[in-house]
Amino acid sequence: MRLTDKPGTALKKYQRLESTGLWRGEPDGQRREVVVRMGEATLMLNDPRSGEVVGHWSLPAVRRVNPGVEPALFAPAEDGWEELEIEDPDMAAALMTVAQAVRAARPRPGRLRGVLIGGTVAAILAVAVLVLPRVLVSHAASVVPPAQRAEIGQAALDDMVRLTGAPCDGEFGLPALAALSERIFGPKDTPILYILPQGLMRPAHLPGGLILLPKSLIETDGPEALAGAALAEDVAARASDPMRAILDHAGLRATFDLLTSGRLPEGALAGYGEALVHRPAAAPSDRALIDAFRNAQIPLGPYATWRDPSGTGTAALIEGDPYKGLVATPLIPDTDWIALQSVCAG
C-alpha cells in the first residue's frame, strides 16, 4: 500500500491510497490484477499495464462480503456481480474505514421524512390507545338490542347478589312494587324495581331497565321516598348509559366479542357487583330531577330528605319541589304500601 497525500482529517489521511488487488467483473469471469486507488468518495480500479479504468466504485456502496476471513473480499453493492480481493490488511482496513465514514457523512433527505412518519405513527398509536377504546365501547353500547341488554343486566345482578343477597321477593310485596313502578313510569317500558336486603346503601341501575333500591327505602313513612329514588335513578340511567359502565369493566376484548358474537365471554362481569356498590352515586342535575318529578307528579321533598337528612346537599331540591306545601294524592293505596314493606320478610 502506498500513501501519496499528506495526512489531514480522518478521511484525508486515506486519500489517494493505492494497492494491488484481484478483480472479477463477471460472475464466471477470470480474475485479473488491478491497481486499487482510493479517492474522496470513489474507488478506482486500473489495469496496471495500460492504466485503463476497468472499475469505478462508489465508496458508500462498498461492502465487505467475507468479514473476518482473509484475504478480504469486497463488492460494490450487496447484490453486485463484481468482486475485489485485497491481500493488504492495511488497505482493506482503510477501505472499510473510509467507506463507513463516507456513508455516515452523506446527507440523508429521508431522515426528516422518517421523523415525520415516526411522529405520525406515534400520534396514530396514541389515538388508538386513548380514543379508539372509548369509541368502540360507545359503539357497542349503542347497538346492543334490548333483549341482550336485559340479559346482560341480569348477569350483572347475579354477580351483585354475592354482596347484597338475592332481591327481596315477598309474595305480597312484589305485586305492590310492580304497581308502584307502573304509577311512576307508566304502563309502557316500565323499569323493573328490585329491593336488595343488604350491602346497597344507595340506588343503582343496570342495563335492561333494572333499578336497584336499598331496603332502607321501604322503612320510611310512605312510598314517596322509594318512588322518588326510583325516578331519580331512571333519570341517571337515561343520562349515562349503564351499558358503557358494564363494557368498561368487561374490557376491550370482551367488548369486541360482544360485537362479533352477540355475547359477553364467561367471567366478563366478575366483580362488577362490588365495583357498582362502591361507585359514587349518579348525580343528575337538580333541574333534571325537578322536571322529572313534576312530569311524574311525585313530590320531591321525601326523596331529597332521605338522600340527605341534614338537607345541606339537597336544599335546592327541597326548595324546588313542585308539590311543596301541597297535599299529594297517594301514589298507591295504603294496603299496597303495607304489602310492599313486607317484600323482604319472606
- CATH class assigned to 2-105: mainly beta
What confidence score (pLDDT) does residue 240 get? Answer: 85
Q: Where are the beta strands (DSSP E) in the chain?
A: 2-3, 17-24, 32-38, 42-46, 53-58, 63-64, 72-75, 83-86, 192-196, 204-206, 210-214
- Cβ-contact 277, 160 below 8 angstroms: yes
Give residue 60's pLDDT band: very low, low, confident or very high (50, 70, 90). Answer: confident
What confidence score (pLDDT) does residue 334 get? Answer: 92
What confidence score (pLDDT) does residue 142 get? Answer: 81
Give residue 106's pLDDT band: very low, low, confident or very high (50, 70, 90). Answer: low
d(C-alpha 293, C-alpha 306), whole Å: 15
Low-confidence winner among 66-80, 87-101, 123-137 (lowest mean pLDDT): 123-137
Q: Which three cell numbers stand for residue 275?
A: 365495583
Residue 182 has pLDDT above 90, yes or no: yes
Q: What is the mean pLDDT of residues 79-86?
A: 80
DSSP state of 218: G
What confidence score (pLDDT) does residue 307 get? Answer: 92
235 vs 3, residue with greater confidence:
235
Residue 9 has pLDDT above 70, yes or no: no
Q: What is the mean pLDDT of residues 35-64?
A: 82
**What does the pLDDT look like over 262-276, one tens digit per residue?**
888 888 999 999 999
What confidence score (pLDDT) does residue 48 get? Answer: 86
153 vs 125, residue with greater confidence:
153
What confidence score (pLDDT) does residue 63 get? Answer: 84
What confidence score (pLDDT) does residue 53 get? Answer: 84
Q: What is the mean pLDDT of residues 315-339?
A: 88
100 vs 342, residue with greater confidence:
342
Residue 128 has pLDDT above 60, yes or no: no
pLDDT over 70, % of the chain: 85
Q: Which of 66-80, 198-212, 313-327 has the highest mean pLDDT?
A: 198-212
Residue 281 has pLDDT above 90, yes or no: no
- Cβ-contact 141, 294 below 8 angstroms: no
Q: What is the mean pLDDT of residues 216-241?
A: 93
C-alpha distances out from residue 192 to 35, 195, 284, 300, Å: 96, 10, 20, 21
Q: Which three cell numbers stand for residue 138?
A: 360507545
For the chain, give the mean pLDDT.
83
- Nearest-5° Cα angle at 206, 200 to 212: 35
Q: Which of 8-22, 79-93, 217-231 has the highest mean pLDDT?
A: 217-231
Say how many CA atoms lie within 13 Å of 29 toward its Cβ. Answer: 13
- Cβ-contact 22, 36 below 8 angstroms: no
What confidence score (pLDDT) does residue 47 get? Answer: 87
Q: What is the mean pLDDT of residues 282-290?
A: 89
Q: What is the mean pLDDT of residues 49-61?
A: 82
